[in-house]
């Protein structure tokens, strides 16, 4: 993956010291705050299913619809929200939680080791320290998921510049918890770390990640926030509506567009529409009211514990 430093070297010039040190400084700060990440092989991850009417289709096509489309937009140049063979890898151990998403945005063969993007979230559940790493190369048609170097060992001409990660705005969506639930990811939930009410902050090291939003609504006796936080930014906006049937996500088929397929919070609730409304309806109304008017005193906007 070509980077500014590689281009300068090709021209016989030296990369600025501040630029060359930027990623390494962040990597070392992450190693200290979270832990030393191992090398990665996407083949070790579990594939995220794409189903239609409860079944794996015999073939996949651009802009098809499915039961559980990815909520993270894949972009206009992608093959839509129902692209198969993304993989999730859990590299957690006793002291850190690490989730790797090897993301497919383009329909490839099931055996392909090329991915459009590789994303790493590394989190210390005791302190809340969280680091973000990303690799992608659109000009080259993707990145290899084989022998992926550890991001805490340096950039290795593989991992994206921190400015690119910051521009992606990962923390704008992950504004309540480092590990976000969605019906897409929820299909392999046992392979995803979880610490929904624990401390949470972004390791910065001069990168700018500390500017990502980390506030939530402190709503006593609310059945939604009793299980997880509602962040004031993106959790409060599209995500809350996508997962409660208020808005239909792009790529949704008939199942994903009607109850219960369009109501994926809480996961596997097993309720009728009437039961769900009786249990969660008033709490959802309170959340959506606060989303519309977060400055209302009753919403009690509060910094997430551990944020700096």
How far apart CA 264 and CA 70 sit, in angstroms, is 13
- pLDDT, one tens digit for every residue, the chain (308 residues): 434 344 333 433 333 334 334 899 999 999 999 999 999 999 999 999 999 999 999 999 999 999 999 999 999 999 999 999 999 999 999 999 999 999 999 999 999 999 999 999 999 999 999 999 999 999 999 999 999 999 999 999 999 999 999 999 999 999 999 999 999 999 999 999 999 999 999 999 999 999 999 999 999 999 999 999 999 998 998 899 999 999 999 999 999 999 999 999 999 999 999 999 999 999 999 999 999 999 999 999 999 988 55
How far apart CA 184 and CA 74 sit, in angstroms, is 13
- 8 A C-beta contact, residue 265 and residue 71: no
- 8 A C-beta contact, residue 285 and residue 98: no
Q: Which residue has the tokens 């809350």?
A: 240
What percentage of the chain exceeds 90 in pLDDT?
90
The pLDDT tens digits of the residues spanning 217-259 come to 999 999 999 999 999 998 998 899 999 999 999 999 999 999 9
Q: Which residue has the tokens 């509602």?
A: 230
- 8 A C-beta contact, residue 50 and residue 152: no
**Which residues touch 62 (CB under 8 Å, ≥6 apart)?**
79, 80, 107
What pairs with residue 237 in β-bridges?
A: none
The pTM (predicted TM-score) of the whole model is 0.91
What pairs with residue 244 in β-bridges?
A: 263
What pairs with residue 133 in β-bridges?
A: 120
- 8 A C-beta contact, residue 121 and residue 37: no
How far apart CA 201 and CA 214 sit, in angstroms, is 7
**pLDDT value of residue 237:** 80
Alpha-carbon torsion, ordered 102, 103, 106, 111, to 10 deg: 30
**pLDDT value of residue 6:** 41
| Number of helical H runs and strand E runs in the chain | 7, 10
Q: Which residue has the tokens 């957690």?
A: 92
Hey, is 117 helix, strand or coil?
Answer: strand
DSSP secondary structure letter of residue 267: T
Handedness of CA 47, 53, 54, 55 (dihedral sign): negative
Alpha helices in 77-168 (DSSP H): 162-168
How far apart CA 180 and CA 278 sit, in angstroms, is 25
The pLDDT tens digits of the residues spanning 11-29 come to 333 333 343 348 999 999 9
How far apart CA 196 and CA 172 sit, in angstroms, is 16
In order of 10, 102, 162, the CA distances from 143 in angstroms are: 22, 10, 17
Q: What are phi and psi of 142, to 5 degrees?
A: 125, -175
């Amino acid at each position: 993956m070509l980077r500014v430093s590689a281009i300068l070297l090709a021209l016989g010039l030296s990369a600025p010291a501040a630029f060359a040190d930027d990623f390494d400084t962040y990597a070392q700060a992450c190693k200290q705050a979270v832990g030393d990440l191992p090398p990665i092989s996407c083949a070790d991850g579990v594939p995220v299913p794409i189903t239609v009417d409860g079944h794996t289709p015999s073939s996949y096509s651009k802009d098809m619809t499915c039961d559980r489309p990815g909520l993270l937009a894949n972009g206009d140049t992608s093959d839509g929200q129902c692209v198969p063979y993304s993989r999730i890898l859990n590299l957690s151990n006793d002291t850190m939680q690490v989730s790797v998403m090897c993301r497919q945005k383009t329909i490839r063969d099931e055996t392909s080791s090329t991915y459009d993007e590789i994303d790493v979230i590394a989190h210390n559940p005791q302190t809340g320290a969280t680091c973000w790493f990303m690799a992608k190369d659109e000009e080259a048609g993707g990145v290899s998921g084989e022998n992926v170097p550890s991001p805490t060992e340096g950039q290795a001409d593989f991992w994206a510049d921190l400015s690119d990660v910051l521009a992606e705005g990962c923390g704008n969506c992950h504004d309540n918890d480092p590990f976000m639930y969605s019906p897409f990811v929820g299909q392999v939930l046992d392979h995803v770390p979880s610490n929904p009410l624990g401390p949470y902050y972004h390791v910065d090291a001069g990168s700018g990640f500390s500017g990502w939003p980390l506030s939530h609504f402190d709503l006593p006796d609310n059945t939604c926030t009793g299980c997880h936080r509602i962040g004031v930014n993106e959790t409060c906006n599209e995500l809350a509506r996508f997962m409660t049937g208020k808005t239909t996500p792009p790529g949704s088929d008939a199942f994903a567009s009607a109850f219960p397929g369009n109501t994926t919070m809480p996961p596997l609730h097993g309720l009728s529409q009437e039961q769900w409304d009786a249990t969660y309806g008033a709490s959802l109304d309170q959340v959506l009211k606060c989303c519309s008017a977060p400055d209302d005193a009753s919403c009690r906007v509060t910094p997430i514990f551990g944020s700096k």
